[in-house]
Amino acid sequence: MDPNELGEKIVRVLKTIYDPEIPVDIYELGLIYDVFVNEDNHVKVLMTLTTPNCPVAETLPLEVEDKVRSVEEVVEAKVELTFDPPWTRDLMSEEAKLELGFL
């Protein structure tokens, strides 16, 4: 599978994962900074959390890794957590801002 196609498939999977405190998926929330797919179908997801002491800091990255790994074509998946740049509401999609009443 083409790395771009696989990347799109992974994004669709990421959109099924929700922040437990906010009724918006983690992709639209802006928590996913990047998805890297190489020719060998190894995937790295660069993500953040709304705050460093977020209640799901232990579980959400593992859930992301498991869901990405569950995509048939993915050989390996790793999640890298970063707080640089820190998450802000500006990273949310228009759809997420509308859903949460920020627009």
Number of domains the chain contains:
1
What distance, in Å, lies between the first and last C-alpha atoms of the chain? 38
Is the model's pLDDT at 37 over the cut of 90?
A: yes
Query: For position 59, what pLDDT does the model report?
Result: 93
- d(C-alpha 89, C-alpha 70), whole Å: 29
Query: For position 23, what pLDDT does the model report?
Result: 87
Is the model's pLDDT at 55 over the cut of 90?
A: no
Q: Tell me the CATH number at 24.
A: 3.30.300.130
Is the model's pLDDT at 5 over the cut of 90?
A: yes
Query: For position 73, what pLDDT does the model report?
Result: 96
What is the rounded average pLDDT for all residues in the chain? 94
12-36 pLDDT, tens digit each: 999 999 988 888 999 999 999 999 9
- d(C-alpha 47, C-alpha 11), whole Å: 12
Q: Which residues pair with 80 in a beta bridge?
A: 46
User: Any idea what the Cα angle at residue 8 is, between residues 20 and 45, rounded to 5°?
Assistant: 55
- Domain of residue 10: give its range: 3-99
